[in-house]
């Protein structure tokens, strides 16, 4: 007997096909799910961070050394501080083993040391030379309360000024913010500020001491007697306080060949009033008297009775006649005497004529006649 109901043969075939399709889809999904971690792993392997590498030379600007200063590829540990930096402007060294131990303490391992035995660490700084400080103070005091040009100001510090090492971020100029000078005692008090490029407070510097204006002066290297002639070997040029030499300080070009008007001491700074033109004629010394008269020139021996420089009128004595007269100093031991010029008569009034007739000159005699 044929049953009245039940799946037909064709339905069974279709059901089996659908089952196979579902199994294939399930297998593909499982395969994709299993492959995803492998792809992710492959991707992570391709972008793995580079190994940390030790640096041979390290430069820092702050007072601490961080892991990121010591090695490349430090990652998240770069900001961790591990050492104090050397003093400003100096360099120190660290053994490689000591550096590796400090890194391991912060879980930084596998560092490529490049076979380095030590690491050099330099702390950068801004160097301010002592001369720069002096120039800045002199510029701040220039023409203040009677002082002259900055180049002529001489400074003496209460504490010896030295070259300074400042933080590298202190890159600004020395800007004077407070300048005081007392001309009575020569005291100065100057404060500077230096701007900080890192945004920190400016660096402040203060200096105190004395300031004097100086000039180039000619100073004697030996004592000089009165009337002695100054030679080049007798003097040297030095800077002296202006108050010491006054306003009539002599310059070297005016000194050589001049004659001392008074006795001068060793080390004295010369003034113009100390010197004069050299005497070409000395008192009681023999001189040549040159006499000019009516186209005739005579020379005779004489003696000077006083000192005189070129152009001075001095008294001299003729040694033969013992007569004394005046002449003009015209050279070394030479006096020029000229004959007096004749008195001009052309413009003088004519003399009054005297009448030959005595009657005209005496009326009383004319009457008696």
Distances (CA, A) of 69 to 56, 61, 102, 345: 11, 11, 13, 112
Q: Is 166 left (phi over 0), alpha (psi -120 to 50) or beta?
A: beta
Q: Which residue range(s) make up the domain with 109?
A: 53-123
CATH code, domain with 314: 2.30.30.760
Assess if residue 358 is contained within a domain: no
Question: Residue 4 — very low, low, confident or very high, per pLDDT cuts 50/70/90?
Answer: very low
Tally of structural domains, the chain? 4
Confidence of residue 289 (pLDDT cuts 50, 70, 90): confident
Which pLDDT value is given to residue 354? 45
The two structure tokens encoding residue 271: 């003034």
* Domain end among 105, 123, 141: 123
As a whole number of angstroms, the distance between CA 312 and CA 335 comes to 10
Same domain (yes/no): 95, 164: no
**249, 276, 303: which is the final residue of a domain?**
276
Residue 230: pLDDT over 60 = yes
- Between 122 and 39, residue with greater pLDDT: 122
Calculate what percentage of the chain has a pLDDT beyond 70. Answer: 79
- What is the reported pLDDT for 99? 94
- Which 3 state secondary structure label does DSSP give 18? helix
Q: Which tens digit of pLDDT belongs to each residue from 23-42?
A: 666 665 555 445 445 444 44
Question: Do 211 and 139 fall within a single domain?
Answer: yes
Per-residue pLDDT, 6 = 47
For 226-235, what is the mean pLDDT?
90
Residues with Cβ within 8 Å of 304's Cβ and at least 6 positions away in sequence, in order, are: 281, 282, 283, 284, 285, 286, 287, 314, 315, 316, 333, 335
Q: Of 13-22, 157-166, 290-299, which has the strongest mean pLDDT?
A: 157-166
Contact (Cβ atoms closer than 8 angstroms) between residue 121 and residue 65: yes
pLDDT classification of 47: cutoffs 50, 70, 90? low
Instruction: Tell me if 88 is assigned to some domain.
Output: yes
- CA 180 to CA 191: how far, in whole Å? 9
User: Given this model, what pLDDT does residue 52 score?
Assistant: 93
CB 51 within 8 A of CB 75: no
Q: Is the pLDDT of residue 341 over 90?
A: no
């Amino acid at each position: 007997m044929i049953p009245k109901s039940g799946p037909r043969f064709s339905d069974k075939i279709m059901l089996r096909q659908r089952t196979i399709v579902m199994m294939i889809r399930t297998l593909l999904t499982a395969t994709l799910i299993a492959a995803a971690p492998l792809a992710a792993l492959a991707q992570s392997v391709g972008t793995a961070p580079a190994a940390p590498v030790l640096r041979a030379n390290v430069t820092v600007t702050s007072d601490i050394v961080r892991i990121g200063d010591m090695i490349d590829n430090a990652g998240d540990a770069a900001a961790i501080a591990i050492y104090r930096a050397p003093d400003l402007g100096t360099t120190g060294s660290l053994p490689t083993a000591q550096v590796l131990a400090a890194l391991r303490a912060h879980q930084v391992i596998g560092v490529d040391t490049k076979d380095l035995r030590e690491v050099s660490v330099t702390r950068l700084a801004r160097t301010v030379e002592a001369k720069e400080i002096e120039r800045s103070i002199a510029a701040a005091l220039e023409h203040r309360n009677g002082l002259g040009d900055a180049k002529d100001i001489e400074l003496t510090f209460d504490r010896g000024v030295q070259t300074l090492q400042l933080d590298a971020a202190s890159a600004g100029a020395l800007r004077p913010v407070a300048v005081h000078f007392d001309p009575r005692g020569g005291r100065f008090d100057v404060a500077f500020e230096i701007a900080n490029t890192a945004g920190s407070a400016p660096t402040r510097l203060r200096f105190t001491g004395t300031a004097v204006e100086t000039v180039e002066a000619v100073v004697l290297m030996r004592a000089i007697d009165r009337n002695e002639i100054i030679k080049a070997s007798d003097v040297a040029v030095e800077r002296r306080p202006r108050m010491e030499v006054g306003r009539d300080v002599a310059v070297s070009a005016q000194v050589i060949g001049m004659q001392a008007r008074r006795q001068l001491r060793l080390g004295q700074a010369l003034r113009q009033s100390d010197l004069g033109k050299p005497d070409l004629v000395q008192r009681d010394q023999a001189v040549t008297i040159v006499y000019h008269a009516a186209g005739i020139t005579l020379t005779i021996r004489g003696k000077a009775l006083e000192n005189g420089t070129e152009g001075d009128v001095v008294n001299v004595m003729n040694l033969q006649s013992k007569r004394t007269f005046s002449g003009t100093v015209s050279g070394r031991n030479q006096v020029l005497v000229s004959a007096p010029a004749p008195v001009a008569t052309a413009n003088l009034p004519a003399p009054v004529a005297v009448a030959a007739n005595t009657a005209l000159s005496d009326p009383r005699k004319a009457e008696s006649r």
